[in-house]
Amino acid sequence: MHHSRRDFLGGALSAVALSLTASRAFANALGLPLAIQLYSVREQMAQDLDMALAGVAAAGFVEVEAAALPKKSAREIRAALDKAGLRCVGAHHGYADLAPRVEELADYDAELGAKYLLCASPGHRPQAAAQPHGPQPFTLDDWRYNAEMFNTFSDQVAKHGLQFGYHNHIHEFDAIDGVTPYEELLRLTDPKKVTFELDCGWARVAGQDPVAIMQRHPHRFSMLHVKDFHLAEVEAGANHIPKVTELGRGDIDYRPVLAQARKNQQIRHAFVEQEAFDMPWQESLKVDAQYMRRLR
């Protein structure tokens, strides 16, 4: 078969373009696809789903984790993701939403293409939740109940081809009678069934070192959340929560965190989460993506 010089050059240029695209998507410290938690663009998705997802893709992200999605069918969301060239690998649900309909949500998430279903907030043991004056502070018994339920949920979501996991905030690190709830969750959940997504930003806000956590539990984490804070600057009226900012503009240095994550070879995804913007949202996402690339 005869190939012209034009055919040869066209093929070579296509190969270069493909290489550049792959380099752009995978250029981060873990050698993983650039990924983002869609909670970052919750307001934009509520206004115009296609517009929001196009902005995520334009910033360079190729993988997403679902949360705060518009009330649409899984088929509609999946079509919008496909249109934007985005791949959904996981989804977040609060315990209160998850507990009564685990398999329904697992079926929905599986249709999105997700491989992980994550609980993003804990629940009280039923008798504790029924207190006359509303939910009470979490006790160790509540946290241990969560661990029991996570083991059960893992079996239910596995029927839909998903792995169950848990995502932390800050109260998991509030010691109760000398016991840290997060360590109890790790101790009491079945490592063959329940994975963990370490939110490194919230761990730092809670006074913890994500590197040390991963070193203590090298086989329990398959995902990370990456976000930055001005740790000494507290948001007004926000219960003393530090002010969130774009990656690289706050006080969290992710170089040692991602270096340790690279040693924890089970880690498959590292999601940027931009909970608030210090600049126009499209620019903010590009700053985050560029930060992740620079850490290579």
pLDDT at 149: 98
Looking at every residue in the chain, the average pLDDT score rounds to 90
Residues 285 and 28: their CA atoms lie apart, in Å, by 15
Residue 56's identity, in one-letter code, is V
Q: What 8-state DSSP symbol labels residue 138?
A: P
Q: Which residues contact 286 (CB under 8 A, 6 or more apart)?
A: 58, 59, 60
The string of pLDDT tens digits covering residues 72-91 is 999 999 999 999 999 999 99
Query: How large is the average pLDDT for residues 27-34?
Result: 79
Phi-psi region of 134 (alpha: psi -120 to 50; beta: other; left: phi over 0): left
Where residue 124 falls among pLDDT bands split at 50, 70, 90? very high
pLDDT at 234: 86
User: 242 forms bridges with which residues in the sheet?
Assistant: 234
pLDDT at 128: 56
| Statement: residue 261 has pLDDT above 90 | yes
pTM of the model: 0.89
CB of 223 closer than 8 Å to CB of 116: yes
The string of pLDDT tens digits covering residues 134-177 is 668 999 999 999 999 999 999 999 999 999 999 999 999 999 99
Pick the CATH number of 5-294 from 3.20.20.150, 3.30.465.10, 3.30.1330.60, 3.40.50.720: 3.20.20.150
Which residue from 274, 290, 255 is spatially nearest to 30, judged by alpha carbons? 255
